[in-house]
């Protein structure tokens, strides 16, 4: 690339990057409140209780498409960038991935990645559904947003949970790590038997910014994580930069996406 073009390219990319996830400048104070509650309540004990409550998938039987339509009732309070409903974000993400010629499983991942937010419709508060995720049971990385709010968390005062490795072993692999509870972990368990492993992995860790953006938990990752995390990084570009006020033509796009969903999922699945 010629130097001038490269500079322009870098400028465009960096101006884009500074335009998203600006927590300090955002005017939606609900973002701060959400992270205050999230960091106070996401303990090892809470995460284990949510696993017992949800991972047997006994909260309803519904099609992926129904979940997508119901997600139209949700606005994500943790998103400092946009207050559009989730169905628009689902289509925008999928369409951006599709436009770049990526495989069908990745387009599907774009469409469904946030469907775990139906937890909100099951009565969970936003702090237990959305926001960046992080491992519980070990020290909090400096790269986690609103780090200061952890002072209110019971685990913060338990020395066993505040060492670098905490309850984990070096390079143990994320599969054995308890992540703060939210839509990522939940949806992973809902869809894992229907989608390729890469899709499941992207869904499970797409909000783990402290790792996929900052690399703060490399000491817990194994070889498998290192490989899979590349998909998460690729996916994140679409999750963030496809957000726009220009609404996708959902009606026109529906036949294509219904067919895509049918390719991977049976009529109804357990939630
Ligand atoms: Fe998400
Ligand atoms: Fe998203």
* 105 and 11 Cβ atoms separated by less than 8 Å: no
Q: Using the predicted structure, report yes or no on whether residue 218 has a pLDDT greater than 50.
A: yes
Distance, in Å, from the CA atom of 202 to the CA atom of 208, rounded to the nearest integer, reads 10
State in Å: Cα 242 to ligand 1 middle. Answer: 13
Residue 54, pLDDT score: 98
Rounded mean pLDDT, 31-46: 96
Residue 13, pLDDT score: 35
171 band by pLDDT with thresholds 50, 70 and 90:
very high
Query: What residues make up the domain containing 231?
Result: 66-270
Q: Which residues have CB less than 5 Å away from ligand 1 (the ion)?
A: 114
State in Å: Cα 92 to ligand 2 middle. Answer: 10
State in Å: Cα 238 to ligand 2 middle. Answer: 9
Distance, in Å, from the CA atom of 140 to the CA atom of 222, rounded to the nearest integer, reads 19
Residue 25, pLDDT score: 58
State in Å: Cα 113 to ligand 2 middle. Answer: 6
Residue 29, pLDDT score: 80
State in Å: Cα 223 to ligand 1 middle. Answer: 24
185 within some domain: yes
Of the bound ligands, which one is closest to the alpha carbon of residue 20?
A: 2
State in Å: Cα 114 to ligand 2 middle. Answer: 5
Distance, in Å, from the CA atom of 243 to the CA atom of 238, rounded to the nearest integer, reads 8
Rounded mean pLDDT, 91-114: 97
23 within some domain: no
Residue 128, pLDDT score: 98
Distance, in Å, from the CA atom of 226 to the CA atom of 228, rounded to the nearest integer, reads 6
49 within some domain: no
SS3 135: strand
**Nearest CA-CA partner of 243 in 6, 11, 17, 84:** 84
Distance, in Å, from the CA atom of 102 to the CA atom of 254, rounded to the nearest integer, reads 19
State in Å: Cα 20 to ligand 1 middle. Answer: 14
State in Å: Cα 3 to ligand 1 middle. Answer: 36
pLDDT tens column, 119-160: 999 999 999 999 999 999 999 999 999 999 999 999 999 999
71 band by pLDDT with thresholds 50, 70 and 90:
confident
Q: What share of the chain is helix, strand, coil (3-state, %, to 5)?
A: 60, 0, 40
**Nearest CA-CA partner of 161 in 52, 42, 34:** 42
pLDDT tens column, 73-95: 877 777 766 667 889 999 999 99
* Residue of higher predicted confidence among 111 and 245: 111
Q: Give the per-residue SS3 of 163-182.
A: CCCCCCCCCCCHHHCCECCC
The whole-chain average pLDDT of the chain stands at 90
50 within some domain: no
Return the residue matching tokens 């972990």. Answer: 185
Number of domains forming the structure of the chain: 1
102 within some domain: yes
Rounded mean pLDDT, 10-21: 43
**Nearest CA-CA partner of 36 in 125, 103, 105, 104:** 125
State in Å: Cα 207 to ligand 2 middle. Answer: 8
State in Å: Cα 8 to ligand 1 middle. Answer: 30
12 within some domain: no
Distance, in Å, from the CA atom of 58 to the CA atom of 249, rounded to the nearest integer, reads 34
26 within some domain: no
State in Å: Cα 113 to ligand 1 middle. Answer: 6
State in Å: Cα 209 to ligand 2 middle. Answer: 12
State in Å: Cα 183 to ligand 1 middle. Answer: 7
SS3 269: strand
State in Å: Cα 28 to ligand 2 middle. Answer: 18
Contacts of 142 (CB under 8 A, 6+ apart): 216
Rounded to a whole number, what is the distance in angstroms from the first to the last CA of the chain? 49
Of the bound ligands, which one is closest to the alpha carbon of residue 110?
A: 2
CATH code of the domain covering residue 252: 1.10.3210
Q: Using the predicted structure, report yes or no on whether residue 9 has a pLDDT greater than 50.
A: no
């Amino acid at each position: 690339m010629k130097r001038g073009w490269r500079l322009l390219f870098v400028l465009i990319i960096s101006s884009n990057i500074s335009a998203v996830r600006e927590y300090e400048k955002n005017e939606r104070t609900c973002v701060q409140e959400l992270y205050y509650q999230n960091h106070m309540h996401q303990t090892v004990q809470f995460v284990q209780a949510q696993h017992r409550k949800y991972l047997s998938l006994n909260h309803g039987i519904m099609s992926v498409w129904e979940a997508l339509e119901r997600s139209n009732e949700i606005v994500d309070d943790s998103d400092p960038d946009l207050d559009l409903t989730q169905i628009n974000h689902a289509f925008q993400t999928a369409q951006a991935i599709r436009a770049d010629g990526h495989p069908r499983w990745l387009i599907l991942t774009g469409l469904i990645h946030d469907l775990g937010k139906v937890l909100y419709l099951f009565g969970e508060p936003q702090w237990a559904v959305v926001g960046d995720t992080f491992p519980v049971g070990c020290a909090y990385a400096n790269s986690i947003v609103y780090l200061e709010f952890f002072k209110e968390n019971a685990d913060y005062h338990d020395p066993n949970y505040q060492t670098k490795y905490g309850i984990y072993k070096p390079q143990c692999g994320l599969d054995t790590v308890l992540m703060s509870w939210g839509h990522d972990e939940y949806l992973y368990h809902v869809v894992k038997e229907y989608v390729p492993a890469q899709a499941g992995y992207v869904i499970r860790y797409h909000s783990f910014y402290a790792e996929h953006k900052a690399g703060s938990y490399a000491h817990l990752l194994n070889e498998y994580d290192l490989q899979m995390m590349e998909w998460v990084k690729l996916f994140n570009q679409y999750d963030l930069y496809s957000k726009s006020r220009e609404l996708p033509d959902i009606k026109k796009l529906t036949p294509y996406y219904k067919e895509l969903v049918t390719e991977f999922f049976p009529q109804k699945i357990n939630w």
